Amino acid sequence: MLAIVEEQAQTLMRTAFSTVVREAGDLSAGLFTPRGEMLAQAVTGTPGHVNAMAAAVGQFLQVRPLPQWRAGDVMLTNDPWHGTGHLNDFTVVTPVFVEQRCIALFASTSHIADVGGRGFGPDANDLFEEGLQIPISMLFDAGQLNDTLMAIVRANVRDPVVAEGDLYSLCACNDAGAKALLHLLQDFGLKSLAGIDEHILATSARAMQAQIAQLEAGVYTHQTVIDGYRNPLTLRCAMTISATQIQLDFAGSAGASRFGINVPLPYTQAYASFGVRCVVGGDVPNNAGSLQPIEVLAPAGSLLAAIRPSAVSARHAIGQMLPDLVLGCLAQVIPDRVPAEGASCIWNPVFRGDDFVINPIYNGGTGARAGKDGLATTAFPSGVRTTPTEINEATSPLVTWVKEYRPGSGGAGEFRGGLGQRLEFTHQAAKAFTVSKMFDRIDHPAAGRQGGEPGAPGRVFVITPDGSRVTLKGKGVETVANGARLVLETPGGGGSGDPQARLESARLRDALAGIESTGPADV
């Protein structure tokens, strides 16, 4: 089953039109029971997509109960509260039939570059400004395309070819999964997964509960401060560990924002539960069974449980900070298994000009790991890859002049944090272009653990043609003037342990590589 859903994900990557899916793997793919329970998920993909999609399929079944589904049906939505948290992500669900009986569902999600409105970014004041909203709807009805729905999509986006192509790619990947599953059943002489699915989910739930039972029961609290849109925001978590369950309660965290950084609860649940799964039950398959023992709560209407019509486009800028918050609680229980804080939120600017729009992804460093240094320029917790420079330059008039590690950006410690990177861009025709920024860890860098030092903060600035330097905000749309050079410096990860305890061989290795760890100094 894992091989099937991975082939499903690879089909999506091979056929996607948006580069963020094709090159960076910003997607999810999974196999579900007829009851809407996630049975298997692809390795390729992001926790925000996968774990939110795990809850989404049940919403589809509420709108269209299983007896109403027919072969050839395909349903979709980009509803942030029924999908993965913002309008750019489309979730598509396809049934699988054997002898006129639905025996499984395949679902997939991918990020579509543009859905109209203000465009991908944190500046909108409500959901209606952020683009086209599609409730759970039929894309194909018994194999017949909903031409009206597709026409509405094309009419509301800046690049209709890409949007339409991405929707077809989601359908294609579900079809690939369905065909592979039918072959599997035929090979084993089966007509359904009945009994097998219950066994897998029950076994996974018991395995996860057994892992939780090894933890010391109690209530553990942690808080962190992040940049926010204009003002710092405090996130708080109370973790309650019992014999069979972990409850995460985000009461006391910041209230809702009037900007597009609010997080719908499904996305909060997705990344919060992932924070637990990183160090508890990591060898247990991720499915509805292993997710069931983790309960995630947040006050309705708060930053982490946004209600309609809150603006949510840049929900990842907050949601991807949650694993570090959860790990801060777990560090009080299993300190030898928890990494230091990292850059966490991906740096995914949207570059736009008169005739182009691209959404590349750049990453900072991860925090120092248990007994190991942090990873340089690696996306954690999202897991998406950096978009290759060659692809960015082939699909836009921007030139990347510099792409290099930031020496010393990893926090010092017995085990140092991972390095961030420096990037410099200009327009090849020296024209102005805009950049929509959704960055964090600029004012509040990644913290170290157990005596480790914080990583270097991120920075964003412009070098003007006369050589002067203008600092930009971490979030919001701004213009890079004619002939100016945009510079991004992604954050470094925090260190772990006393820096004086670092092995001399490790110091020498860093020195020879030119990446000496000097902590959060201006480097």
Q: Where are the domains of the chain?
A: 2-194, 215-337, 339-523
Rounded CA separation 283/328 (Å): 21
> How far is residue 322 from each of residues 10, 181, 224, 329, 493, measured CA to CA in Å?
28, 35, 9, 11, 15
Give the pLDDT of residue 515: 85
Q: Residue 488: in which H helix or E strand, if any?
A: strand 485-489
In DSSP terms, 145 is beta-bridged to 140
Structure tokens of 453?
């030092």
pTM over 0.85: yes
Rounded Cα–Cα distance for residues 503 and 168 (Å)? 53
pLDDT at 354: 87
Kindly report the number of other CB atoms within 10 A of residue 508's CB atom.
10
Residue 286: predicted pLDDT = 95
Residues in the chain: 523
* Partner residues linked to 221 by β-bridges: 238
Predicted confidence at residue 523, as pLDDT, reads: 35
Q: Running DSSP on this structure, what letter comes out for residue 297?
A: E
Write down the pLDDT at residue 355: 86
Which parts of 42-133 are beta strand (E)?
A: 74-77, 89-98, 101-111
User: Percent helix, strand and coil across the chain, each rounded to 5?
Assistant: 30, 25, 50
* pLDDT of the residue at 517: 54
> Which residues of the chain register pLDDT less than 70?
517-523
Burial of 35 (0-12, 13-18, 19+ CB in 10 A): middle
> What is the per-residue pLDDT for 518?
46
Rounded Cα distance between 90 and 84, Å, is 8
Instruction: List the one residue out of 455, 460, 469, 465 whose CA is nearest residue 426.
Output: 465
The DSSP element (H or E) to which 237 belongs, if any, is: strand 233-241
